[in-house]
Amino acid sequence: MIDDPDIALGYVAPDVAAEFPELALAYTFCEAAPGRSPAAVRERLRDASNRFTGGKAVALRQQPVPAAYRVFFRHIGIDPDDQRTPVEAIALERLRAGGFVSRGAVEDAVLLATLETGVPVQAFDASAIEGRLGLRPSAAGERLDDLHPLRAGSLTIADERRPLAVLFGDVAPDAAVGRRTTRVALVAIRVKGVPGVSVEEALWTAADTFSEGG
């Protein structure tokens, strides 16, 4: 267990805040490098696999926090039965694979935090971030990289210089966690119907998972 990390609230562009008054982005920074998860985390994944049965997966979307993200997806034009919310995507992968497969320290921490709280958590390479994080529409001509142009007005996770990811979508390749990452920014999105304490718990869970076995 580590001390709870400091959590910051990101900016929200005025036009986005006007349309979605309860939308918020929270984030924190942690020392964490890619690599194999420690034994304690792999054991947590096995326990989660055993507890997360087919019945729980079916009932997941009826729970208040996952249901809130389904509603938000529809509000921003995403069909949650076509593009699953993060926690539902995790649940479906569990059923498909027959268990939660360890994919590395960062990936496992994000998965466990999202699964245990229902709040989507995303990790970015902290070295790619300049200034505060926040939510804003993309401007005309912006892109994640040469292969990922953005449609003007797309809702993005951005820093003070550029978009880092489409919200619940593609990530700029140089902002993604990679082999040379030594520090990550953990990001969680709050939508209408999700308590602020759930968002904080999701970030704390992911950060604490990095310390297991260390």
Structure confidence by residue, pLDDT tens digits, 11-30: 999 999 999 999 999 999 99
Residue 110 has pLDDT above 90, yes or no: yes
Q: What is the pLDDT of residue 138?
A: 97
pLDDT, average across residues 98-103: 88
Lowest-pLDDT choice from 56-65, 123-132, 178-187: 56-65
SS3 81: coil
- Cβ atoms < 10 Å from Cβ of 51: 9
Domain ranges of the chain: 8-211
d(CA 118, CA 113): 8
pLDDT at 9: 97
**What is the arithmetic mean of pLDDT over 202-214?**
82
Neighbours of 56 (CB within 10 A): 12
The topology under which CATH files domain 8-211 is Phenylalanyl-tRNA Synthetase; Chain B, domain 3 (3.50.40)
**Residue 214 has what pLDDT?**
45
pLDDT at residue 1 greater than cutoff 50? no
What number of residues does the chain have? Answer: 214
Q: In angstroms, rounded to a whole number, what is the distance separating the alpha carbons of residues 101 and 94?
A: 8
Q: Are the beta carbons of 168 and 72 closer than 8 angstroms? A: no
Question: What CA dihedral angle connects 99, 114, 131 and 17, to 10 degrees?
Answer: 140
The runs of H, that is alpha helices, within the chain are 14-19, 39-51, 54-59, 64-75, 86-97, 105-117, 196-211
Residues 139-180 have pLDDT tens digits of 999 999 888 899 999 999 999 999 999 999 999 999 999 989
CA angle 6, 22, 63 (to 5 degrees): 90
| Rounded mean pLDDT, 91-102 | 86
